[in-house]
Amino acid sequence: MFALTILTTLTMINVDLRALTQPVGILRIFSAILSCISFSLVASVGYVNNSYWSWCMFTWCFCFIVTLFILIMEFTTMHSKLPFGWEDFISAFAMLASLMIFTASIIYSSFFICRQQAPSGPKCHRQIGACVLSWVCFLAYVGEVVLNRLRPQGEHIGFLSTLPGIMKMLETFIVCIIFTSMHKSQYSKKPELEWCVSVYSLCFIFAIIIIVVCTAQLTSYSPVSIEKVVIVYNIVATLMYLSAMVLWPLYSFRNNSKPPNCNFLCPWDKLVVITIMTIFNAIVYILDSAYSIYLVFFVGRQREVVVKLTSALTL
């Protein structure tokens, strides 16, 4: 039975060579190769017990796997059978991968190149090579984003290709940086900081839910208007982030000056990173809330007026 299912699936596959020979496909092949080589070079140097190093490794591995998945799905034309907007997904992933590779390239080149060995050593050469390839990989993903944006305007109809969708991805990406910089000892048994961690976690979970619901086109199954639900969420999340923006630096740096031996990514530096990322995310949520309100209560009402006037004129 299992063999019959596999055979039936294989007979449904049509090979599309254009997925690999078009400019976007070529850029994806380069991105997959470069991210894989960057990951391999850094892995060959050795493990580093640091959350930022883990983030860089996760970024290269994640981008390689998803890009390879996209190449296989488009080459076999299986993407047409998926229950969500494929064009929206690949456009969103190209933007997300650009952000992730850009961040990983900055972090790795700033904190890990030739830190523990001589600049002329073989390990240092591999680290430099990985960093250079990572920057080239970033340019490849940026090229894919540009090519996606040059397509006819009518093709960009998915949620993740719109400004609210892009801001939702940016919000979740910034939270990932916050989680990477965070350690339990920084907020344990401190109610004010635990509240901030709750803000980061809850907003991250609800943002992911919104992205999944809108991308999978499940909004029609909702008994209430999903646009108004998103507005309420954005306003609440903005207020929560504003409180975290005040509480986190106030209570994390109270009686906690920078130690004299803070040289290489010490915990105090990570507190600064969390503070900066919290401020950035609060700004993004404010812009997201303002734009959502504008779309629903101003643009939406203008469309209703135009529809009513058109109906009256036709009568």
User: pTM for the whole thing?
Assistant: 0.81
Please state, as a whole number, how many other Cβ atoms lie within 10 Å of the Cβ of residue 232: 11
Res 161: pLDDT: 74
The values of phi and psi at residue 211, to 5°, are -60, -45
Q: Is 101 exposed, middle or buried (0-12, 13-18, 19+ CB in 10 A)?
A: buried
Tokens of 158: 């998915």
Report the first-to-last Cα separation within the chain, whole angstroms: 61
Domain ranges of the chain: 14-154, 162-255+264-314
Give the tens place of pLDDT for each residue, 277-295.
Answer: 999 999 999 999 998 888 8
Integer-rounded Cα Rg, in Å, for the chain is 23
Contact criterion met (CB below 8 Å) for 148 and 88: no
Q: Rounding to the nearest 10 degrees, give the CA dihedral for residues 181, 168, 85, 59.
A: -20
Residue 137 — very low, low, confident or very high, per pLDDT cuts 50/70/90?
very high
pLDDT of 254: 83
Tokens of 35: 């991210």
The CA distances from residue 279 to 243, 256, 275, in Å, are: 10, 20, 6
Angle between helices 163-181 and 267-294 (to 10 degrees): 160
Is the confidence at residue 192, as pLDDT, over 70? yes
- pLDDT at position 211 is 85
Q: What is the pLDDT of residue 135?
A: 95
Give the mean pLDDT of 198-216: 88
CA-wise closest residue to 177 among 54, 41, 49? 54
Cβ neighbours of 134 (radius 10 Å): 28
- How confident is the model at residue 112, as a pLDDT? 83
> Residue 203: is its pLDDT beyond 90?
yes
Give the percent of the chain with pLDDT over 90.
38
Three state DSSP letters for the chain: CHHHHHHHHHHCCCCCCHHHHCHHHHHHHHHHHHHHHHHHHHHHHCCCCCHHHHHHHHHHHHHHHHHHHHHHHHHCCHHHHCCCCHHHHHHHHHHHHHHHHHHHHHHHHHHCCCCCCCCCCHHHHHHHHHHHHHHHHHHHHHHHHHHHHCCCHHHCCCHHHCHHHHHHHHHHHHHHHHHHHCCHHHHCCCHHHHHHHHHHHHHHHHHHHHHHHHHCCCHHHCCCCHHHHHHHHHHHHHHHHHHHHHHHHHHHCCCCCCCCCCCCCCHHHHHHHHHHHHHHHHHHHHHHHHHHHHHHHHHHHHHHHHHHHHHHHHC
User: pLDDT per residue over 84-122, tens digit each?
Assistant: 778 888 888 899 999 999 999 999 988 887 765 555 567
